[in-house]
Amino acid sequence: MQNFEYYNRTKIIFGKGTEERTGSETARYSKRVLLHHSGGSVVRTGYLDKVKESLKAAGVSWVELDGVKPNPRLSLVHQGVEICKREKLDFVLAVGGGSVIDSAKAIAIGALYDGDVWDFYDRKKTAVEALPVATVLTIPAAGSESSISSVITNEAGPWKRAVDEECLRPVFSILNPEATFTLPAFQTACGVADMLAHIMERYFTKESHVELTDELCEGAMRAIIRNARRVITGGGALDYDARAELMWAGSIAHNNLLGTGRIGDWGSHMIEHEISAVFDIAHGAGLAIVFPAWIAYNLKEDTPRLARFAAKVWGVDGAFYDYEQAVLEGIFRMKNFFKSIGLPVSFEDAKLDSAKIPLMAEQAVKFGPVGNYRKLYAQDIEAIYRLALK
């Protein structure tokens, strides 16, 4: 087991009606905040109004910035930074999913920096301070509500890049599963792929003595898979408890408890980022395409671990006789699961142009080879993309 530090100071407020606490929790930090959201369903469903009522009741005023899109754009971040500086706002409240939260985090570092906030994403600067960020989550997926990560797309490339620093961890996050009742099946499914990917990135490690976290990872993945079926294909869109399992799982998948003592891989995320940067498809859909191909490419890389994954998560029997067959059966079941909840599992499914593959493979290794389970270079990544063609 590797040495580690585990410190997650985000206060999670979870359950029915908890958005009513937004105002009182925010008021502990600030009386005048940037209120950041998409301007989409959060407005239509009236959920944002509930948050605003709560802010008002607590005497908190706000400047509003909407327009966040999936794969959140640098240009909007620039606007947010300018507003914070001009209006002297000292707190960013994100109401939405991972894109809104990631955009809010970018604004929070930019607001305390004189240069272009892209410097942090382009690894020219390290983020050591940011305005406090809090979230009211509406899409369980990214885990950004208690993570240190922010992923932003610079339209100039397009380049999709991440910053991971402690100063970006939200001070509190409000999670009401009822807010996810109106989430379309496809978006729910993308979220499911994202949270499974966050666990798989940690699960696939060469560290051999991590039994406790292996057990926690496997259990969380099984719970996600079962509840995804219930919500998406089992008629449970309004099933509070199934929605609640998914919502809490999304946070646990990425709050890094499941990564303690182990070195995660994270190659698949880098490989996917190029897909969603170039084709602007949902991150979760991109992950459903990449992950099965990534496992297939690594078939001979610690096969027993991959077979354990097939056995413990996908219920594959026979893992004791032929590990490789077990892994292949596991991949088959994983793809079937993704398809069954409406996700693409290939370039063909998602109608992506394979001509971009060499360029994407080059971009993915801009900062060097990716992944720790197995270091991947441009040629490996190209091969993985090609394994995902059909």
Instruction: Using CB under 8 A, list all residues that contact a copy of itself.
Output: 1-18, 177, 208-209, 211-212, 214-216, 218-220, 222-224, 226-227, 240-242, 244-245, 248-249, 252, 257, 260-261
* Residue 385 near residue 360, CB atoms below 8 Å: yes
Taking the least distance from each CB to a copy of itself, the nearer of 83 and 257 is 257
Q: Which two tokens mark 7?
A: 């410190």
Taking the least distance from each CB to a copy of itself, the nearer of 95 and 210 is 210
Which of 180, 188, 183, 163 is closest to 101 using CA atoms?
163
- Integer Cα distance of 172 and 180 in angstroms: 19
Taking the least distance from each CB to a copy of itself, the nearer of 207 and 349 is 207
Taking the least distance from each CB to a copy of itself, the nearer of 55 and 228 is 228
Task: Please give the helix or strand (H or E) that residue 188 lies within, else none.
Answer: helix 185-203
Minimum distance from residue 299 beta carbon to a copy of itself (Å): 26
- What is each CA distance from 37 to 106, 140, 175, 379, in whole angstroms? 14, 15, 15, 39
Minimum distance from residue 168 beta carbon to a copy of itself (Å): 17
Minimum distance from residue 372 beta carbon to a copy of itself (Å): 18
- Integer Cα distance of 63 and 41 in angstroms: 19
Minimum distance from residue 171 beta carbon to a copy of itself (Å): 10
- Integer Cα distance of 249 and 223 in angstroms: 8
- Integer Cα distance of 315 and 318 in angstroms: 10
C-alpha atoms less than 13 angstroms from C-alpha of 202 in its C-beta half-sphere? 28
Minimum distance from residue 209 beta carbon to a copy of itself (Å): 3
Minimum distance from residue 279 beta carbon to a copy of itself (Å): 32
Taking the least distance from each CB to a copy of itself, the nearer of 178 and 349 is 178
Taking the least distance from each CB to a copy of itself, the nearer of 101 and 220 is 220
* Residue 188 near residue 232, CB atoms below 8 Å: yes
